[in-house]
Amino acid sequence: MPNTISTTPASVNARATENTQRRFLYAVTALGLGAFAIGTGEFAMMGLLPEVAKDLAVSIPETGHVVSAYAFGVVIGAPMFAVLTASWPRRTLLIALILLFAAGNFAGTLTTDFLSLNIVRFIAGLPHGAYFGVATLVAANMVAPQKRATAVGLVILGLTSSTLLGVPVATWLGQAWGWRAAYIFVAALAVLSSVAVYFAVLGVAATKNANPRNELGALANKQVWLTLGVGAVGFGGMFAVFSYIKPILTEVTKLSPGIIPLTLSLFGIGMVVGSILGARLADKNLLRSIAGLLLWNALVLGGVSFAMTYTISAIIWVFLLGTLVAVGPALQIRLMDVAGEAQTLAAALNHSSFNVANALGAWLGGMVITMGYGWTSTGWLGALLALGGLAVFGLSIKK
């Protein structure tokens, strides 16, 4: 008997399911590569501030303004692109955003003065929030409703894994060949991801009824603002501690400077683990997951002042601090649920809120340290911010 290919309904359905799963895998890998490039570009500068300061003849604290310029670009660019490009096909928009990011990073390598570098870092930050917003929407719409958070988590995994792989490589390149080499690497990653998106993200139209007017409608939605407030306040706790983690480990834990990079790699591992577990929890019960994960944030942050006193517990706590990002996928899905027709703007604003959390946490953390409460006082501050986020969340579900 000659071999025949089964064409029964069951086999046809099985092949269709396999093709759908393969298409999703290709798409989420391409989207995650873009997230990896953006994460590398965002965080690498923090490890290269001394090199930039020396090259451009400015102080290291002043060079920190470059980080702020990028964050400001994220906050401004997320709503701007979400509104102006609401009706664009998703693949076209994603490619345009990642190429703008690549151009901003490459332009940074051509700058010779501090003002120009700040300007191009601002430009590089503009597409950040919109890219993540659109990428997570595309991923979430490719799976069943009960698996949306897992899909979003896979895209965000590209961002978190950049702290483990992309940032160390970029930092090594910047220290060995000059900081500009790091951003040539970032730009190349971004261009590569644009090619991957072109081939892997197929036939994805804009959200139904997507237009600037409907997107702007999110700004009149109290639930959108409250959910963004959960992220801006609740997530600030992690940044209040992590912004000062190096001096905490050297001054409080008394770790040798040589072991700090290895210790901080545990933070990246924690971020990866947190993204995966947080997404799975959110798929099981979204609202309980948000509340539970904010409580987890408060507990971990509240333990900083005790844990950082001893070497073993401090190393464990660095890992646990990374897991605090677990609430990210859940908040992204919550925004999609409350945004109505303004899906793109709401999803993009999520990353603006995280950058607000970054700025807020670092600023408040610096204040309590300057007031003389000590390096680990940032943990108590962080716990209060996490509980503040929980209070905002409680207010949102009562309305």
291 pLDDT exceeds 70? yes
What is the model's pLDDT at position 7?
A: 57
Residue 180: other Cβ atoms inside 10 A? 20
Dist CA 331 CA 133 (whole Å): 12
As a whole-number percent, the residues of the chain with pLDDT over 90 amount to 42
- For 187-211, how does the pLDDT look when each residue is reduced to its tens digit (9 = 90+)? 999 999 999 999 998 876 666 666 6
CA 304 to chain centre: 23
1 pLDDT exceeds 50? no
99 pLDDT exceeds 90? yes
The phi-psi region of residue 285 (left if phi > 0; otherwise alpha if psi is between -120 and 50; otherwise beta) is beta
Q: Do residues 361 and 236 make contact, with C-beta atoms less than 8 angstroms apart? A: yes
What is the model's pLDDT at position 10?
A: 57
Q: Do residues 78 and 351 make contact, with C-beta atoms less than 8 angstroms apart? A: yes
Nearest Cα residue to 24 out of 272, 203, 256, 274: 203
Q: Report the chain's terminal Cα–Cα distance, integer Å.
A: 68
What is the model's pLDDT at position 17?
A: 61
What is the model's pLDDT at position 292?
A: 96
Residues 6+ apart with CB under 8 A from 293: 278, 281, 326, 327, 330
What is the model's pLDDT at position 208?
A: 64
Alpha helices, H only, 85-210: 90-108, 114-140, 148-162, 166-177, 179-200
Place of tokens 């396999």: 18
Alpha helices, H only, 285-303: 286-302
What is the model's pLDDT at position 327?
A: 92
Q: What is the mean pLDDT of residues 143-155?
A: 87
Q: What is the mean pLDDT of residues 250-277?
A: 87
What is the model's pLDDT at position 51?
A: 84
Q: H-helix or E-strand containing 384?
A: helix 377-398
Dist CA 141 CA 26 (whole Å): 15
Per-residue confidence band for 146, with pLDDT thresholds at 50, 70 and 90: confident
Residue 61: other Cβ atoms inside 10 A? 9
What is the model's pLDDT at position 131?
A: 94
Dist CA 340 CA 207 (whole Å): 11
Per-residue confidence band for 380, with pLDDT thresholds at 50, 70 and 90: very high
85 pLDDT exceeds 70? yes
DSSP structure string for 164-181: TTHHHHHHHHHHHH-HHH
348 pLDDT exceeds 50? yes
Dist CA 207 CA 205 (whole Å): 6
The phi-psi region of residue 49 (left if phi > 0; otherwise alpha if psi is between -120 and 50; otherwise beta) is alpha
pLDDT, averaged across the chain:
86
For residue 154, give Cα distances in angstroms to 33, 50, 325. Answer: 11, 33, 13
Residue 208: other Cβ atoms inside 10 A? 8
DSSP structure string for 96-114: HHHHHHHHHHHHHTT--SH
Q: What is the mean pLDDT of residues 176-183?
A: 91
* Residue 190 exposure: Cα atoms within 13 Å on the Cβ side: 28
Place of tokens 């400015």: 58
Burial string for 327-365 (b: 16+ CB within 10 Å, else e) reads bbbbbbbbbbbbbebbbbbbbbbbbbbbbbbbbbbbebb
Domains of the chain: 11-206 (1.20.1250.20), 209-399 (1.20.1250.20)
For residue 114, give Cα distances in angstroms to 102, 119, 164, 184, 187. Answer: 20, 9, 29, 18, 20
Residue 92: other Cβ atoms inside 10 A? 15
- Burial (Cβ within 10 Å: 0-12, 13-18, ≥19) of residue 148: buried
Residue 58: other Cβ atoms inside 10 A? 18
